[in-house]
Amino acid sequence: MKVLVIGSGGREHAICWALNKSKKVDKIYCSPGNAGTDKIAINAKIDVSNFRNLEKFIKKERIDLVIVGPEKPLVNGIVDFLEKKKIKVFGPNKYSSQLEGSKTFTKKICDKYNIPTAKFKIIKNKDNLSKILEIFSLPIVVKADGLAAGKGVYICYHEKDLRIAINEIFKGKFGLAKKVLVEEYLDGEEMSFFIISDGKTFKVFGTAQDHKKVGEGDIGPNTGGMGSYSPSRLENKILEKKILSKIIQPTLRALKDKNNKFKGFLYAGLMIVKNEPYLIEYNVRMGDPECQTILPRLKTDFFEIINSCTNNNLAKIDIKWSSKKSLCIVLCAKGYPGNYKSLNHIKNLKKILTKKNEFIFHAGTKIKSKDVISNGGRVLNFTSLSESFKLSRDRVIRLIKKLNWKNGFFRKDIGFRVIDK
C-alpha cells in the first residue's frame, strides 16, 4: 500500500520510520518532509494547506492512506475534506480537533462532564487583571486560546508577570488570540497519556514525560519540547484506571453526545497531584518529541494499527510494547525558542554510525546541494532504547557529542526525575 504522511517534524520522521518497517507498506510519501524522511520516503513539495491540490496529488499517485501528523491541518478540517472525497485518512475531524484548537472548548466540556481540571476563567481583554487577582492567588497560569506550538503558556509568580503575559498574548505573540485562559496553578508532576481510537474502540497508546522548559532543571521559557522519556515513571494500573474513567471516557462521551466520534490519536497532558489526575490540555495528535520515544517501544506493526482504525476494527488489534526504556533528547539551534539562525550546515551527520536501538529522527532539517542544513528551532532528535533510562541518556549524549554541531545546544538532564533522584 501507498501511504502519505503530512508534516515535516521529528514526529513525522518517526512515523515514516515505523511505517517503513511494515511489510504491507510499499511506498511512503511525506509532505513536506525533511532531510531524514527523504531517506525512507518521497518528499512531496505540496502546500498541505491547499486541500484541493493535496487531493489532486493523492489521486494522481493513487495513495491508499493519509496520516496527518501536526495539529494545524487537523484543526483546519483536512480530515473532513478528504473523507468527503472518499480518501482514507487517519486523524480526528474538525469538530473533535477543537479539543486542541480551542482551550475554552475543552474547558467547557470539563465543566459539563465533571472532568478534573484546574479552576479557570476565560478573559476577553487585558482590563480584567484586577478581577483575576480577586479570584486566583499567585502563581497563576496564563494560556493563549488557540494553537501555539506548545509555547503559549506562562506561569506567573508576580503581578507584573501576569500583566506581561496577558499583554503579549493579546498583542499576537502566538497568533490572533481573542480570548485568554487563566488557571489556578496545580503543584504536581506532568504526564503525557495517549490513546488511539477508531471511533468505536480506543486503546492506550503509551505514556511519556515531556520536558517543555528550555533550561536544565526545568527553567526558562516553554518550548515545543526539549526531550522526553517513555514510559512515564508515574505509570501504573491504578492511575491508568482513574485517567480512563475520570478524563478519557467522559471526553469521548461528550463528543458522542454531539453525534461526533473521535478517530485518531488523543494526547492528554496531565498533572498528577497526590496520585490524582487533572487534565491540563488535550492535543489531537501524537506528541513531539513523545512520539519519538513511544514508537521505538512499539512491537506491533504500526501500519496495521492505523489501518485498523480507518477500517473501524481496532478491537481486533493486540498492541504490544517493549519493556525497555526509551529516552529522546532534542538538539536545538542556538537562540531557540527565541531568535535563532537557520540554514547552518550539519557537517558530521554522515559520520555518525548508530547502533541497534539508537535512532536519529530529523525535525528542522532540509537538503541543500546534497548537504543537510538546519531549517528550524528544533533540529534533530536523538533517541535510544535500552534496559535503563540512564543508559539510554548516556548513549544519546554520546551521539550528540560525536556530532559536535557548534550551532546547537541541548539539555543534558532529560529524564532527571527518573534518573537523578
Q: Does a structural domain hold residue 107?
A: no
Q: What is the mean pLDDT of residues 189-217?
A: 97
Q: Mark which of 93, 127, 143 sits at the end of a domain.
A: 93
Is 151 a residue whose pLDDT tops 70?
Answer: no
Using 50, 70 and 90 to split pLDDT, how confident is the model at 134? confident
pLDDT tens digit sequence for 263-294: 999 999 999 999 999 999 999 999 999 999 99
At residue 169, the pLDDT reads: 85
CB 320 within 8 A of CB 203: no
Look up residue 232 and give its three cell numbers.
Answer: 512515564
Check if the beta carbon of residue 28 is closer than 8 Å to that of residue 5.
Answer: yes
Q: How far apart are CA 75 and CA 143, in angstroms?
A: 18
Rounded Cα distance between 76 and 146, Å, is: 12
Q: CA 9, 15, 21, 27 torsion: positive or negative? A: negative
Whether the predicted pLDDT of 354 surpasses 60:
yes
Please tell me whether residues 311 and 344 are part of one structural domain.
Answer: no
What integer pLDDT is reported at residue 146 of this predicted model?
66
Task: Specify whether 48 is located in the same domain as 128.
Answer: no
CA–CA gap between residue 399 and residue 408 (Å, rounded) = 14
Is 155 a member of any domain? Answer: yes
| 257 domain-assigned | yes
As a whole number, mean pLDDT of residues 316-344 equals 97
Q: How confident is the model at residue 298 (pLDDT cuts 50, 70, 90)?
A: very high
Grid cell digits, residue 172: 499576537
- Is 59 in the same domain as 127? no
Task: Tell whether 15 and 88 lie within a shared domain.
Answer: yes
Arithmetic mean of pLDDT, 36-62:
96
- The pLDDT, as a whole number, for residue 147 is 67
292 in the same domain as 246: yes
- Residues ≥6 apart with Cβ < 8 Å to 183: 118, 119, 120, 136, 140, 141, 142, 143
**Which pLDDT score is estimated for 316?**
96
Element (DSSP H or E) covering residue 197: strand 189-198
Q: Yes or no: say if 150 and 336 are a contact pair by the CB < 8 Å rule.
A: no
The answer to whether residue 411 sits within a structural domain is yes
Q: 163: pLDDT confidence band, cut at 50, 70 and 90?
A: confident
- pLDDT at position 128: 66
Helix (H) or strand (E) holding 271: strand 263-273
Residues near 241 by beta carbon (within 8 Å), at least 6 away in sequence: none
Question: Which residue, of 274, 299, 316, is where some domain finishes?
Answer: 316
What is the tally of structural domains in the chain? 4
Confidence of residue 421 (pLDDT cuts 50, 70, 90): low
What CATH number should be reported for the domain holding residue 395?
Answer: 3.90.600.10
Q: Are 152 and 165 a contacting pair, CB within 8 Å?
A: no
Strands 2-7 and 65-68, sheet pairing: parallel
Q: Using CA atoms, how far apart are residues 319 and 328, in angstroms rounded to an integer?
A: 22
What would the mean pLDDT of 343-362 be, rounded to a whole number? 94
Asked whether residue 397 is assigned to any structural domain, the reply reads: yes
Q: How far apart (Å, rounded) are the C-alpha atoms in residues 32 and 14?
A: 14
The grid coordinates listed for 205 are: 497508546
Q: What CATH number is given to the structural domain containing 256?
A: 3.30.470.20
Check residue 127 and give its pLDDT. 62
Query: Does residue 114 fall inside a structural domain?
Result: no
Residue 331 has pLDDT above 60, yes or no: yes
Reported confidence tier of residue 149, pLDDT bands at 50, 70, 90: low
pLDDT in tens, 238-253: 999 999 999 999 999 9
Question: Among 93, 128, 161, which residue terminates a domain?
Answer: 93
What pLDDT is stored for residue 118 in this prediction?
93
In percent, how much of the chain has pLDDT > 90?
Answer: 83
Q: Band of the pLDDT at 150, cuts 50, 70, 90?
A: low
Average pLDDT for 72-80: 96
Residues 27 and 75 in one domain: yes
The stretch 335-357 carries a mean pLDDT of 94
Is residue 102 in some structural domain? no
Distance between CA atoms of residues 299 and 194, nearest Å: 16
Q: What is the mean pLDDT of the chain?
A: 94
Helix (H, G, I), strand (E, B) or coil at 309: helix
* Statement: residue 53 has pLDDT above 80: yes
Question: Do 380 and 299 reside in the same domain of the chain?
Answer: no
Q: Judge contact between 398 and 382, C-beta under 8 A.
A: no
Are 230 and 334 part of one and the same domain?
no
- Distance, in Å, from the CA atom of 329 to the CA atom of 11, rounded to the nearest integer, reads 13
* 276 shares a domain with 233: yes
Instruction: Please list the residues that pair with 345 across neighbouring strands.
Output: 373
| Percentage, residues of the chain above pLDDT 70 | 96
Is the model's pLDDT at 302 over the cut of 60?
yes
**Of the candidates 325, 164, 369, which has an alpha carbon nearest to the alpha carbon of residue 230?**
325
- What CATH number is given to the structural domain containing 124? 3.30.1490.20
What is the pLDDT at residue 135? 86
Q: How confident is the model over 66-79, as a mean pLDDT?
A: 96
Examine residue 30 and state whether it is found in any structural domain, yes or no.
yes
CATH number at residue 43: 3.40.50.20
307 and 284 in a single domain? The answer is yes
- Confidence class of residue 73 from pLDDT cuts 50, 70 and 90? very high
What domain range is 340 assigned to?
A: 325-419
Q: What is the mean pLDDT of residues 355-370?
A: 96
Same domain for 141 and 175, yes or no, is: yes
**Residue 263 and residue 312 share a domain:** yes
Q: Residue 179, Cα to own-chain centre: how many angstroms?
A: 23
